[in-house]
Amino acid sequence: MEIERKYLVSHIPDNIDSYPCRIIEQGYLNTAPVVRVRRDNNNFYLTYKGKGLMVREEYNLPLNRESYEHLIAKADGNIITKKRYEIPDGNGYTIELDIFEGKFLGTVLAEVEFPSVEEADNYNPPAWFSKDVTGDSYYQNSNMSKRVL
């Protein structure tokens, strides 16, 4: 089960390069239900995500590079590329700050995952978060993959 909230940000922290960063590329084979392939640095996954915005089922299956390359070639729509920075929020959670590249250059989203809905509902985001977009499907990567640019 994935429980996460998503935010727009007012600015990128000044010391962004001091945090761990992963390079992510992903494509969608289907968007309802979500079936995604992802390269996360040198790891490869096939992911199924169920319905929902803040709470939904999620299953990750490991792939090898060859399988990933075969499947990413079959992806529909936009391939999404981003740098993901892992930033501790000071309250025991990790902010995953996604700075998009390629077709979505200029898009920046922050996600925070939680162990329970109660913790997600009670989360007090840092001041540099500008708007909670958890309930806005426009900001789901699967929907971004379908946008005509």
Is residue 61 situated within a structural domain?
Answer: yes
pLDDT at 133: 98
pLDDT at 148: 86
Give DSSP secondary structure letters for 68-80: HHHHHTT-EEEEE
**Does residue 27 contact residue 36 with C-beta atoms inside 8 Å?**
yes
Q: What CATH number should be reported for the domain holding residue 50?
A: 2.40.320.10
For residue 84, give the nearest of 73, 74, 97, 95 by alpha carbon.
97
Which residues, listed in sequence order, are joined to residue 9 by a DSSP beta bridge? Answer: 129
- Residue 127: give the domain boundaries: 2-144
pLDDT at 18: 98
Is residue 112 situated within a structural domain?
Answer: yes
Is residue 116 situated within a structural domain?
Answer: yes
The CA distance from 4 to 131, in Å, is 15
The number of domains in the chain is 1
Is residue 149 situated within a structural domain?
Answer: no
Is residue 81 situated within a structural domain?
Answer: yes
**Does residue 114 contact residue 4 with C-beta atoms inside 8 Å?**
yes
Per-residue pLDDT tens digits of the chain, which is 149 residues long: 999 999 999 999 999 999 999 999 999 999 999 999 999 999 999 999 999 999 999 999 999 999 999 999 999 999 999 999 999 999 999 999 999 999 999 999 999 999 999 999 999 999 999 999 999 999 999 999 999 87
